Amino acid sequence: SHPPLCPPGIKCGGVLSAPSGNFSSPNFPGLYPYETECTWLIVVAEGSSVLLSFSHFELEYHDTCAYDYLQVYNGAARDRGNLLGTFCGHSPPPPFSSAWHVMAVVFRSDRHVAKHGFAAAYRKGSREGWWSRGVRPSILFHCPHRPCLLADACGGQLTGLSGEITSPRYPESYPNDAECRWSIGGAGGGGPLTLVFADFQMEGGQGCGFDYVALFDGPTVAAPRLGRYCGSARPPRTVSSTPHLLIIFKSDFNIGGRGFKAHFYSAGECQEVFTTVKGNFSSPQYPNFYPNNLKCQWSIRLPPGYRVKVFFLDMELEGRSSLTGACDYDHLSAFDGGTENGSLLGRWCGRESLAPVTSRSNRLLLVLHTDRNTAKRGFSISYVGVVPMNVSCTRTDFHIQIPVQSLAQLERNKIYLGTPSCAAQVVGRNFKIHTRFDTCGTESQRRNNTSVIISTLYIDFSVGDQEDIHQYEVQCEPKRKEASVTLIAGPDPSRLSQAENLVDAQQREGEAMDVREIKSQDTSDIVFISICILAGLLMVIAVVGLVLL
């Protein structure tokens, strides 16, 4: 007999606010009705998580769950970024833990083929619970010739900006007679997808006719095939030309292997490369909560000689582990040199006010890792390329020198001290400014009971109507002939109220500056000494003259 359409009075969905409870599909354990849609909103105490498990599960099967299905959402909003999984068929989904105190479960049936449905239980849990770490929701189970085990779970529709997929039971040997399909995409970013295999070991064979992984440039097997792989050689990095990628894993009746582990990520706000002298970026969906299970990278690559200075405008990530006190969960890391093999400049989590970080080279890599629960607002960052320069002074003059290659796109009149009339000159491979203290807008100030000479160096990157002028304060202490330079306006002047000295380390590390020429030009000291000697001679002559008289 056919089940009826969902009639009025059938219990379907609702708000579940007790600390624990059970719910099931309409008519369970009988057949669920046709054309039914139910939404259960589970709400537990704030600061807790929802732990969800299924004791029975039987829905109409389809390889992409297009007919009858159950969806689990991380939070109340039915947003694709919060979707933890879409399920159908006969194998129960794995346990879930929500990122915060709300979880939504949606059940939908179409007008054909009804099954017995599902039974589920939930309870309030701690966000440090065992379900919250290391349990990967696996979607769309398919073991055609035998009962599926939880460890066999594979395949799914993945809509996150990045994630990890593995063969069933990885790193143990995968089962025989398995077929898994991962359909990646549909997160709304619209960019291409990149797939990178971290490990790969499968049964080999000419033409990969036994066990294999096949990649398709789209959501179905009708899309162009990007490759078919087997054996022990890792497949190459694959980039789709569409916002969708289909991965099929298949094993035959004998001979297995360790399987594979692969990472995928979408282009856009999660994977970006910056080459401009200044810029800004933020975590995905900022200032809303970032998605779980991300690995995002922002690479800043500037011309040789530059350093990258990063300003943390706002940051709120999941906090430190209560067991280790370290950033074991969600964290942001900075690496010098542009790769994760470079020196670690810092690793941060929680909600902190961070001091700016400056690279030691012209490249810097920021990497955001998020785990499977407890999302936060994320971060907002600005950066500026610190121009390499050498600043020195005498008792009467400033000397400034900047390699032309660092500002190759600029004309010399875009670099000036104080006023545009004091523009740099091109001498050899350097922009140079040599000026006396009584010109170019310099002024005398008293700081820390010391007399200093102050001026402002302007580097004008403006293009068209877009004004973009970086300002550095140049300072000299004439008595000691010591100079310094400080960035006072870069990516966001309002954030740089306490400027930091940037030049001491530059000069110590030697930015290939030709300071010998500057020293050879230091004629003011010679003139000063000559005047002193001449005055002394005149005084001696005067004294001798008086004695003779």
Residue scoring higher pLDDT (138 or 348): 348
pLDDT tens, position by position, 9-25? 567 888 898 889 999 99
State the pLDDT at residue 99.
Answer: 66
Q: How many CB atoms lie within 10 A of CB 370?
A: 29
Contact of 356 with 311, CB cutoff 8 Å? yes
Q: What is the DSSP string of 4-50?
A: PB--TT----EEE-SSEEEEE-TTTTSPPPBS-EEEEEEE--TT-EE
Rounded percentage of the chain residues whose pLDDT exceeds 70: 79
Q: What is the pLDDT of residue 142?
A: 38
Confidence bin at 504 (pLDDT 50/70/90)? very low
pLDDT at 323 over 50: yes
pLDDT in tens, 105-114: 999 999 989 9
Q: Among 144-148, 198-202, 211-215, 288-292, where is mean pLDDT lowest?
A: 144-148
Q: For residues 170 and 198, what is the distance between their CA atoms, to the nearest angstrom?
A: 12
Whether 549 contacts 541, CB under 8 Å: no
User: Token match 């025989």: residue?
Assistant: 176
Higher per-residue confidence, 73 vs 132:
73
Give 211 or 137, the one with higher predicted confidence: 211
Distances (CA, A) of 89 to 66, 186, 375: 11, 22, 30
Given a cut of 80, whether residue 158 has pLDDT beyond it is no
pLDDT at 306: 87
C-alpha 499/C-alpha 106 separation (Å) is 53
The pLDDT, as a whole number, for residue 93 is: 82
**Pairing status of strand 271-274 against strand 295-301:** parallel
Collect all residues with Cβ–Cβ distance below 8 Å to 386 and sequence separation of at least 6. Answer: 306, 307, 308, 309, 358, 487, 502, 506
Question: For residue 332, which amino acid is it?
Answer: L
How many whole angstroms separate alpha carbon 291 and alpha carbon 475? 47
- In this structure, of 184-198, 241-255, 379-393, 426-440, the range with the lowest mean pLDDT score is 184-198
Ramachandran area for residue 108 (φ above 0: left; ψ -120 to 50: alpha; else beta): beta
H helices of 320-374, where? none
Whether the bond between 403 and the residue before it is cis, its omega within 30 degrees of 0, is no
CA gap 43, 537 in Å, rounded: 95
Whole-number pLDDT of residue 452: 92
pLDDT band at 125 (very low <50, low <70, confident <90, very high): confident
**pLDDT grade for 189, boundaries at 50, 70 and 90:** low
Per-residue pLDDT tens for 416-450?
999 999 999 999 999 999 999 988 888 899 988 88
This prediction has a pTM of: 0.49
Q: What does pLDDT average to over the chain?
A: 80
Q: What is the 3-state secondary structure (H, E, C) of 209-223?
A: CCCEEEEECCCCCCC
